Amino acid sequence: MVPAADEVPLKGLVATLPETPPAANYGRRDGLLQEVWYESVPLRGKPTRVFGWLGRPAAGGGKAPAMVLVHGGGGRAFADWAKHWAERGYVALAMDTAGQGPDGQAHEAGGPGQGDDVKFRVFSDAEAADMWTWHAVAAVLRGHALVRSLPEVDPERTGITGISWGGYLTCLCAGLDPKFKVAVPVYGCGFLGHNSFWRDRSLAALDEESRERWLRWFDPATTAGGIRCPVLFLNGTHDFAYPPDSYRRTYSLVPEGVRTLSLRVDLDHGHIWTFGEVDAFADSVLRPGAGSPPLVRMGPLELADGKASAVIAAGGPVASAELHVTTMTGDWVKRVWRTIPAEVSGKAVSAVLPAERPLTYFFTVKDGRGLVTSTSWRSEGAEDNPAVVPAGKLEDDFYDWEARHAAVMKAKAARAPEIVMIGDSITHLWGGEPQEPRGNRGAESWRALFGERAVLNLGFGWDRTQNVLGRFERGELDGLQPKLAVIHIGTNNLAGTKSVRAATADEIADGVQAVVLQTKAKCPGARVVLMAVFPRGREAGDPMRARVAAINERLAGVAKACGAEWLDLTGRYVGADGRISEEVMPDGLHPSEKGYAIWAEALKPFLP
């Protein structure tokens, strides 16, 4: 039985762990390394065991500090990692968190595997104890208890570091186990539902209730605020899995006085355990002294009179400093950074900030050993991308938004759709179910194209990408198994109102990408067609033409990256003279019956 969950339900499971260290069996030795198997928590009522490599330093000299080493996705208990720390004078345990033995293969008494289909499966609160995250957390915490019980270990000098999913587990475990004296999550963080590789994939594939349950139980945002030991957060600016915005949200939960940051431009993502910063940070806490000086810890960024600055809060001296800036917004992976030398004066670093806006920036500093730490990042003239933040109704229009959502939910329950059409008013006004009470502009071409097929129209007037994502969260695609999904969205993101600012082309592309990925995640068997945003503006010189073209330049790449099929009808709507005929789009935006017939003809080859 799981004890009654408090606001951090994972703590209820942690409370079930024995206070005594786990029983362990030791296997063959290989130099500084030895195989170890130890008991962990049961899986569906059956006992499990965890394999690990235990590293011990060669020489004696009293009780040693110890590190717990947590691998990332696709990894295993890495012997070389344990050896790295043993050679540095530590006892180290590199354990497996995926039910694997020394050969990397699953063993009979192993816990759950580490595939995303296992990590993100649907579960009830009562089944949380059978989920991968809990078994991985238990493997770490029981491993920590084992290490602390060893006679050669000083139990008051133990730490944890993990890479990628191991960094994720480090954020969880350091907030759950106060016996850790130092922690270093590399890449991994919390707020996976805010922004992460899994937000638009595995998490999006879950229905709203299951997604909220997963985040409530297993997102490190629930535990990172409990970290009180010194912690080094190390990540790159273009990390594809744990981007800097979710990373900042995570480390901001940790008291400023105990957190050190090392944000690096274009840092590779991988099973890398040779960061000098990680070694030095652990040494400074677990083996303090003249031979283990602390890393430089920077204070918050300040901006005054066009100059950015930050104080050196601890450590030093600083040998050099740099300011890193980007004017790009949207997807962090795509941002290009440039570096500007910064001035070091006394206990502060500073640099004149470029005048371009929007601008995101941060400082890095090097100490005399060449070890790099940083400030947090900050933006001027840039905000969170509104195009990827799920939203409900934002604008008043010719129809009742909530009533249409209710009609969609009723229609999908009445007849399982073979095709779903996802979009804004351009899709909304075409035809189909749910019917638009005020009538449609393309009902004839809709009937001619789809005939008796079951088609669900998920077009909503005035909707932007964030509205579509919000409707997805409210279940409009949940449970559906369409053969075809057609997506046409993004034109309304160009408009700023009192409800939301206009988005840039990069931001809109990110929003459309989220829509495509979530559609594929929720409807895995569907063929997905991504439409280029229809041209806007009657004349060739209309400013909207260039803005739409900029979006479409990016969306072609989105379609390719996401495995969707790209369909651009710009040339069919724009005449040889560059104009859009009133017969095709009476208002230069919404198709007429003739305009919808053009779209219908183009979609015929994609019909199931």
Residues classed as catalytic = 425, 587, 590
Distances (CA, A) of 110 to 36, 99, 262, 358: 14, 4, 35, 50
Distances (CA, A) of 375 to 316, 350, 363, 416: 14, 12, 5, 52
Side-chain-side CA neighbours of 109 within 13 Å: the count stands at: 12
CA angle (582, 588, 590) in 5-degree steps = 95
In terms of Cβ atoms closer than 10 Å to its own Cβ (0-12, 13-18, 19+), residue 480 is middle
CA angle (142, 221, 122) in 5-degree steps = 75
How many CB atoms are closer than 10 A to CB 133? 23
Whether the link from the prior residue into 317 is cis, omega within 30° of 0, is: yes
Closest CA relative to residue 470, chosen from 511, 419, 502: 511
**What is the Cα gyration radius of the chain?**
27
Query: Do the beta carbons of residue 66 and residue 158 sit within 8 Å?
Result: yes
CA terminus-to-terminus distance, the chain = 49
For residue 119, give both structure tokens: 């990590």
* DSSP one-letter string for 307-332: EEEEEEEES--EEEEEEEEE---S-G
For residue 326, give both structure tokens: 């980007």
Query: Which residues, in sequence order, are bridge partners of residue 433?
Result: 456
